[in-house]
Amino acid sequence: MVLTETAYAKVNLALHVRRRREDGYHDLESLFVFVEGGDALRAEPRKDGELRLTIDGPFSEGLDSGPDNLVMRAAKALQLAVCPEYGRGTVSQPLPKRRSASGGNTQRFGTNLHLTKNLPVASGIGGGSADAAAALRLLNRLWDCGLDDRQLCAIAETLGSDIPACVISRTLRVEGRGEALEPLELPGLSGILILLVNPGIPLGTAPVFKGWDQCDLGPLDTSSLDAIIRQGRNDLEAPARTLVPQIGYVLDRLTALPGVMLSRMSGSGATCFALFDSQQACNIAHTTLASEQPGWWTMSGLLR
């Protein structure tokens, strides 16, 4: 039996930084959307009870497939949550009793995992967080754990701030450091064409946040898509552009394309995006930029 799961690319349509907290994190208000495309994860059982991860794909170079990889950490966290033989569970919500014990048979957790890394690393579109979330969804099915989204999110929260949102992978208003999630249904959003563009330069999150000017420019209005387009912003764009000036050029090029409804940077960068009013406009933009800038990474798709 072989199962597959997509690690959907995450995009911040808007990202408002409100304040720096005493614990060192920042209070955020953001609108997360997810693209029908991303990294691909495959899993199949193995008989010896061991977990193994292999990685390929255009952005696999230099990635560690050992226990520190977020996919492996997610798999181990799920094991701990559902099987006492692996240690005390880490989920605050009670798990179904019929799934909470393996009767000593830890062999059912033996799995070969294979990750195809299609999304650039350190690029502001989910990356490792989306991969970890996909691992939780996939192994929950493969191991027949029977956990719901709430329980998977409780595990995900122990692994990283964005991972619970990536478990759900639907349009969400996200607050706090990423743990407060509110599903949203914004008319006209699902099915919109999006083009993602990265100039080929990795950008770490910590340096970008460090460069934030500490100015609270106000709350995020997520009452409508029009409000997101007209009043939303990404407060991390300025420090990201200071670190990677090419982001400014990408945004200028996207803004000038015909049919663009919105162009912005996602997350802490360096990936930028544009929303389009038609399939034709998106296709032409994708073809044009890929031809003009062969060194840029581009991906187009639909919002989920």
> Tokens 């996602």 — which residue?
266
Q: Which of 39, 76, 131, 162 is catalytic?
A: 162
> Residue 133: which of 110, 112, 106, 154 has the closest Cα?
154
Q: Which of 10, 117, 131, 235 is catalytic?
A: 10
Dump pLDDT digits (tens) for 57-93. 999 999 999 999 999 999 999 999 998 666 544 454 4
Instruction: Spell out the domain ranges in the chain.
Output: 3-183, 193-302
CA distance 151 to 106: 21
Largest Cα separation within the chain, whole Å, is 62
What CATH number matches the domain at 3-183, 3.40.109.10, 2.30.33.40, 3.30.230.10, 3.10.20.30?
3.30.230.10
Look at residue 234 in the predicted model and tell me its pLDDT. Answer: 98
Active site residue 210: no
Dump pLDDT digits (tens) for 239-261. 999 999 999 999 999 999 999 99
> Residue 111: which of 40, 46, 42 has the closest Cα?
46
pTM of structure: 0.92
**Which CATH class for the 193-302 domain?**
alpha beta
Beta bridge pairs of residue 40? 6, 116
> Residue 135: which of 107, 166, 106 has the closest Cα?
166
Mean pLDDT for the stretch of residues 183-200: 97
CB proximity list for 120: less than 8 A, separation 6 or greater: 59, 127, 198, 200, 202, 271, 297
CA distance 253 to 245: 13
Dump pLDDT digits (tens) for 192-237. 999 999 999 999 999 999 999 999 999 999 999 999 999 999 999 9
Look at residue 21 in the predicted model and tell me its pLDDT. Answer: 83
Q: Count of CB atoms within 10 A of residue 43's CB?
A: 25
Active site residue 56: no
Q: What is the 3-state secondary structure (H, E, C) of the chain?
A: CCEEEEEEEEEEEEEEEEEECCCCCEEEEEEEEEEEEEEEEEEEECCCCCEEEEEECCCCCCCCCCCCCHHHHHHHHHHHHHCHHHCCCCCCCCCCHHHCCCCCCHHHHCEEEEEECCCCCCCCCCCHHHHHHHHHHHHHHHCCCCCCHHHHHHHHHCCCCCHHHHHHCCCEEEEECCCEEEECCCCCCCCCEEEEEECCCCCCHHHHHHCCCCCCCCCCCCCCHHHHHHHCCECCHHHHHHHCCHHHHHHHHHHCCCCEEEEEECCCCCCEEEEECCHHHHHHHHHHHHHHCCCCEEEEEEEC
CA distance 137 to 78: 10
Please give the structure tokens belonging to residue 17. Answer: 């930084």
Give residue 94's pLDDT band: very low, low, confident or very high (50, 70, 90).
very low
